[in-house]
Structure 1
Amino acid sequence: MVMDEPLDFEKEEDPLLPAPRPTKRKKIIGLDDLLLDYFETGKDKLKVKPTKSNRRPREYGSDDENTDVRENEITFCKLFEDCEEKAKELDARDDVPPWGQQIFGCQKAPLNLNDMGVEACQFLQSFCVSEHLGFDLEIQQGEGFLESMLMDGWLLKLVLICGSVEDSIASWTLTKLLYSSNKKLQVSATDFWDSILSLDEDDKLLANLGYFPSYSVLKCAILSYGYLFETSGSKALTSESATADGSDVGPPHNIIAWLRVVSACCKIRKVCSIFSPSEAEELLVIVISLLLDRGLEGLLLILGDCLNSLVLYFNTSEWESSCVMVAESISKRVNMDLNCLRIVDCITAITGTNARGKFLRSQLALQLLKINFGLKVKPENAEKVGSVEKMLKLVTSINVKEKECDFFRLYVSLVLMDNLLFSSDAFRDNAMIVDTWRNYLRTCSTQIEFRNWRLYAPKVRNKASYLLQGAVFRKSGDDGSLAPR
């Protein structure tokens, strides 16, 4: 052993000392170096071992296989034919057309509008004899002068200053309102009548009037527009059956002015009763019928204002009997399809929680249900609970599991029956009727299978579920009263 050499234990590393860290590679590995290492190691070569199949090679053209193929084809053809037959059963009845009826036919030219006699009115005569005008006004130019003053608003200002309107001026402006094709003149005449038919703080007219828009004048105007009044045993045509003969068919241009003047006449009932109850009933039938014209779909606000004004026009003693007459007239005009639901929904949206609107809705639903089931109930028995119970019994007797069940008719009946029951306090407070209705709704929502894709079957199931949720909040409370809808 050499004395200068280290001892053996001195060569050993101290276990208590930490191991030296590996030196970091100073060279940055680039993408080329990685690719080079990848290809040098042979990782790019796929080593796929061939697998031996234990299956026997398939022999084509064997008799057994051909027999199986033919049997499968026959089975598939039978399934396809069965599905086709079921599809034909589903489509045995055409789909329900959308709502909409032809309310207006061919428009007619108004009669005797040229000779209005407005040139002889005292208003123009005062301008002709005045020496302070600075120009001569000829009588032949009198109507054009009045039109300019009407469109500029001066005619209304002078009338309000004078406090009265001549009959010839009132008749002339109403004619321009109802028949003029000049849009600006038509709107100016409408604003003129809206103003002179307004009431002040003392519930008096702003100007004295001797001439008012009568029912005969308004009816003559709506007839010239082509409005299709009901004939015995017939109903208004559907929109699809309308024959378009140019621009003479369809909603008239002056219908907005007509609605506004009718609404203005109804709002002064406390001062002057322009219409009799029977005339107001016919006007209300006309306005409700206009809800079925698709060309007037954008005028719901104007239609709603006119409808509310007509509903409030009747006295309390008149409204009950008049409402039944209006409901009967409407039920004879409307088709028993989505059109009847359109009317009920629109009246609901327009009148809201108004007591008269709810009564009109319930009576209209009752009359439509009568027609749907071919019943004849006298008007004096319309409000009795017995007739409602009879309707409820007829609706709930429809079995949704029957093969011949008409789901569209059931859908219409569900909507009408719900409006009939819960639009009147006399029926919604009857716990027995409400419970019977709720049980039937539960039956419709649970016993119609999801696989049933017959016409309107899914809609009946969904509608019944929706109505059932609303009926839950109407159940009797501790005090025996029903919660408000």
Structure 2
Amino acid sequence: MSSRLDFELDDPLVNTHVPAKRRKKVIGLDDLLADHYKEEGKRIEVKSKRKKPQNNDSSDDEDNTKEAHLSTALDRYHKQMQDMGSDDEVTNWGLRVFGTQKNPPDSDFSELRSCELLQSFYDNNLDSLVGLNREEGDAFLEGLLVNGWLLKLVTTQNHVEAVVAKWTFNLMMFSSRGQLRTRACSFWCDIFSLENEDDTSYFKIDWVPNYSELRRALDIYGYTHDLSSNSTFSCADSQHVGPSQNIRTWIKFVTASCQVRSKRPMFSSAEAEELIEVIVSLFLDRQLEGLSASLYKCMLATISYFTDEEWNISCEKVAKSIANRVPRDLNCLRAVECISGVDPRSKSLRSKVAYQILTAYLDFQIASDEEILNTLISIKVDERSCDLFKVYIYLILTENWLLWGSKLDDKPVICEMWRVLLRNCSCLIPSTDLRSYALKIRDRASYLLHCSSIN
């Protein structure tokens, strides 16, 4: 019964032979390395058999020729890399606006304890209410300032005595304690803001600092008024080298002072012009990059300080003064670009500053707009001897002069000459030009040309 039937012998499904399962061999890393070295040995053996010893001399000559070509190519490549990485390419803006700091002046504020403000405070026994002890002397007065009680007392009386004003101003300008100078600055800014309110009764201030006081503070900080003699920015090792930490409160105080022009004009037109020049120079110090926002607000406030009649005269004077002060390098572009307001006065000042620097660069005493653009168009930017660093500065200055002013709006000839200059800079400089500033000029000109065609 266990034997198969006849028809089962003919069935292919029944007769199919099932192969026995084989265990897969695990290939280890040693096996792979052995196979690799074996194949490598076979290839070396085949190469050695094919090698012809009689051609040794010709193969050496061929190798020497290849080495010579390779050496020439490497030298050419090295020279191109040197051209691409020249010193002009890594030039940066930045000046040391502050030198060695001086010691702050000695001031005597012994009269402060006997002023009317504190006497009324003592008479009402308010020292226990604020948690301060009048026997602590200067610490008591500083506590009133830090806790805000000094401002409350002043606003209650609508009067700031001269000794209180001088004491807080001295702390703001020269104190080495951050909390004191910050609170003193807030004290003055709050007083100025109260004066700006129309619904507030007249606020009497017995003493208000003038421009000479601000100028003296800058001198103590080590400020250098002659920028042309300054060296390029470098890190200073001495702790006595500026800028002082008080420059932050100095900037805020100038901003607040210019904002009270309608109620209390604190500076003359000439003094306000010098303030704009100082602010521009502070933009050139890399140590003050963290204060760019405060400097921007200060710039806007100072420009807004002038009346319309004063500004028509002062704008030109400020532009010429800035052009004469800044060095003829990337610092002049920084001086132009820091005037970044979009109001009509800021635009006009930026355009005039760029124009004055450009004419000074081109050594023009008096020149028409057409003469300046013709001079720039005649520059052959495709020649290897062309100084592209100067061309780059010319291009940026011309852009700020024309686009931030009103030259392109009412002068079609100037507009067309501007486009010719942009086409020269974008078309005559190929993308393969490896000279310093070549691609910067080409890309900037192409972008400006594209924008002008859209407009």
Q: TM-score range, shorter-chain basis? A: 0.7 to 0.9
TM-score (norm 1): 0.78
Pairs within 5 Å for 1:56-455 = 57-60=51-54, 62-84=56-78, 94-115=88-109, 117-127=111-121, 142-198=137-193, 199-202=195-198, 207-230=203-226, 234-240=228-234, 244-348=236-340, 351=341, 353-377=342-366, 387-455=368-436
CA distance in 1, matches of 2:57, 2:151: 101
* Deviation larger for 171-180 or 320-329: 320-329
Query: Cα 1:25–1:191, aligned 2, differ >3 Å: closer, same or farther?
Result: farther
Cα pair distance change 1:77/1:171, threshold 3 Å:
same
SS at match of 1:317: helix
Shift of the alpha carbon at 1:171? 1.2
More deviation, 57-66/368-377: 57-66
- AA of the residue aligned to 1:230: D
Distance 1:91 1:267, change over 3 A: closer
CA distance in 1, matches of 2:163, 2:282: 31
- Residue 218 of structure 1 aligns to which amino acid in structure 2? L
Q: CA deviation at 1:389?
A: 2.3
Gap change, CA 1:206 and 1:246, over 3 Å in 2: farther
Report what 2:437 is aligned to.
456
Match of 2:22 in 1: 32
SS in 1 for 2:106: coil
**Structure 1: where are the runs of 5+ without partners?**
1-20, 36-51, 378-385, 475-485
Higher helix share: 2
The 3-state SS of whatever aligns with 1:335 is coil
Shift in Å, 1:117: 3.5
**Which residue is equivalent to 1:11?**
none
Structure 2 alignment gaps of length 5 or more: 1-10, 26-45
Letter of the 2:288 counterpart: L
Distance 1:406 1:145, change over 3 A: same
Name 2:6's counterpart in structure 1: none
Distance 1:310 1:29, change over 3 A: farther
Query: Does structure 2 retain, via aligned residues, the 8 Å contact 1:106–1:250?
Result: yes
- Deviation of residue 79 (structure 1)? 4.3
Helix, strand or coil: the match of 2:252? helix
Following the alignment from structure 1 to structure 2, what is the Cα–Cα distance between the partners of residues 28 and 376?
105
Specify the structure having the higher radius of gyration (Cα): 1
Q: Give the structure-2-normalised TM-score.
A: 0.83
Q: Is the 8 A contact 1:117 1:168 kept in 2?
A: yes
Shift of the 26–71 alpha-carbon distance from structure 1 to 2, 3 Å rule, reads closer
Distance 2:312 2:229 in 1: 25
Contact map agreement 2:89 2:437 (CA 8 A) in 1: no
RMSD: 3.2
CA deviation map 1:185-225 (0-9, x unaligned): 11111111011111454276762213212001111011111
Q: Residues 171 and 211 of structure 1 are in contact (CA less than 8 Å); yes or no, is this contact kept in structure 2? A: yes
